[in-house]
Amino acid sequence: MVKETVKQLCKQHTELTDQDVQILQEMAFSLQTYADLSDSYMFIDCKLKPSNQAIVVAEAFPVGSTPLYNNSVIGKIVFESFEPGVFYSYRNGKKSIIRQAMTQEGIVVDQTVVPIKNTNHQVIGVLISEKQVVSPTPTGNVQKFSVVTETAEDQMTNSGLGVVSDLLMEMLILTDESNRLVYANPSGLRLISEMSEKDDVLNRDLLELLPFLRTVYEQEDDVFVFELTIQRKNLIVKKIRMREKNKSQETLLIIQDITELRTKEKELMMKSVVIKEIHHRVKNNLQTVASLIRLQMRKGMPAESRSSFEETLNRIYSISSVYEIILTKEHADDDDVNIINLTRKICSTMVLNEYNLKVDLIIEPNNNKIVTTSKKAVSIALIVNELIQNSLKHAFQGKEEGIIDVEFTVENDFVEIHVSDNGVGMKNPQTSLGTEIIHNLVTNDLNGEFLYVPREIGTHAVVNFPVGAEVEIFDE
């Protein structure tokens, strides 16, 4: 039953694969054991498609403990504003610990969130452990209060909170059990007066003044978050229903005007579209240049010029590969490139195009994921292209097969790219256009070094450059 519920919710609300869902099902099956062992409330949350919210797909409560939750929360939507730890772990793939976190049910808990990853190290869900925070029992001469006689309005106006609320940009609106307005800070009063076109609003039915809030009030949840657009305003409304002995009391609304934020998001979206279009045009222009070169080659040319044209085509393809990788990304303004994936793409194509030679290509990441900006990625693409091109052109003369090995190592905040082959070797390396390109790019663009390492069989070239703001290393 547990596994079937997870499967049904994931299929309906997420974009997870069957394999990802199976991982979550196995974890959900053992969730009760984890809950009893740690005496914690356990949950599994998954992100909704294509939203910035999540959904609870599994839960387990420790047997014999005082329940934190009166009802099941499976299928309930999770908002980032109330459970930031869930979304932190989702985005960063790291463990999150929040002391005295407030859940959407208004319960104070110690919360630990651990990302759940698939075989490709992608975060597919989060495992949440919650324990209720127990307030220390008052001792000595500390006075005990069992009943709060002040209303929320009195507490807000008579304490320092009233002064603070007057300074907030957020709108605080408080209504009684009949939905009559009993308090609003200056920002809240401005909103009510502006949208209702009435100045005398105190003690009036808020839902008559602002009918669009009826949807928020009709929600049965004690804590509810709702985003709406009204009169060209974008608002996030957080409703907190205050209860005393399970009787409905005041309702507090915290309203945030995010109109400017949404406008900026639209501008960024337009910028993202423009950036993507630029990447498309660069890629298409490179393909046009390559097509013109191929056309010239088909029209006929001296045999000694053909290899130079082929080398130029490979260089163009290497640069174009950078933009192809960027264009596959979800966010167009994310121009970071995984240079190991880039190397695989470039090298594989070059080796496959060698019809008269059988070459075994070996790429060794050594559990490294190396990410650079597109500018540096173009330089690295050209460097790798030249080194592989040299091996294919010169290393295996008189041979029908060979091995090319590309290895990535990281040591002392430096990245090293080793390109070696088992070919005829180079006793006296000669300066050529290719080596000049490599030296210039390594020195000027990567701030690194390039050298050949002596070896008995074949050639071994090494490029090293520092890790920095434009070069990041991750463990795979």
Domain residue spans in the chain? 2-132, 152-257, 261-328, 336-476
Q: Under a CB-based contact definition with an 8 Å cutoff, are residues 242 and 252 in contact?
A: yes
> Which residue from 286, 459, 306, 450 is spatially nearest to 388, judged by alpha carbons?
459
CATH homologous superfamily for the domain 152-257? PAS domain (3.30.450.20)
Q: How many CA atoms lie within 13 A of 264 on its CB side?
A: 4
Fold: same for 2-132 and 152-257: yes
pLDDT per position in the chain (476 positions), as tens?
788 999 999 999 998 999 999 999 999 999 999 888 888 899 999 999 877 789 999 999 988 777 777 788 899 888 877 778 888 888 888 888 877 666 655 667 788 899 999 888 889 999 999 887 765 444 444 333 323 334 454 544 444 444 445 556 788 888 988 899 988 888 888 888 888 888 888 889 999 999 989 888 888 787 888 888 887 888 889 888 876 555 557 888 998 888 888 888 777 777 777 777 887 788 888 888 888 888 888 877 777 777 788 888 888 888 888 888 877 766 655 678 899 999 999 998 888 888 778 889 999 999 999 999 888 999 999 999 999 988 988 888 888 889 999 999 998 889 999 999 998 888 776 777 888 999 999 999 999 999 998 888 899 999 999 998 888 888 76
Alpha-carbon gap, residue 74 to 91, rounded angstroms? 22
> Which residue from 151, 148, 191, 158 is spatially nearest to 175, judged by alpha carbons?
151
Q: Phi and psi (nearest 5°) for 433? A: -60, -40
User: Which numeric CATH code is attached to 336-476?
Assistant: 3.30.565.10
pLDDT for 21 equals 94
pLDDT tens sequence across 206-240: 999 999 898 888 887 878 888 888 878 888 898 88
Question: What residues pair up with 444 in beta bridges, in sequence order?
Answer: none
- 450 burial (CB, 10 Å; 0-12 / 13-18 / 19+) is buried
pLDDT for 450 equals 94
Q: Which amino acid is at 372?
A: T
Per DSSP, the residues of 282-329 read HHHHHHHHHHHHHHHHHT---HHHHHHHHHHHHHHHHHHHHHHHHHTS
Backbone φ/ψ region at 5: left (φ over 0), alpha (ψ -120 to 50), beta = alpha
Alpha-carbon gap, residue 253 to 261, rounded angstroms? 20
Q: Which tokens belong to 328?
A: 């596959």
Any idea what the Cα angle at residue 125 is, between residues 122 and 128, rounded to 5°?
A: 135
**Cα distances (angstroms) measured from residue 333 to each of 2, 93, 265, 278, 474:** 40, 21, 13, 11, 21
Q: What is the pTM of this model?
A: 0.47
Class of domain 2-132: alpha beta
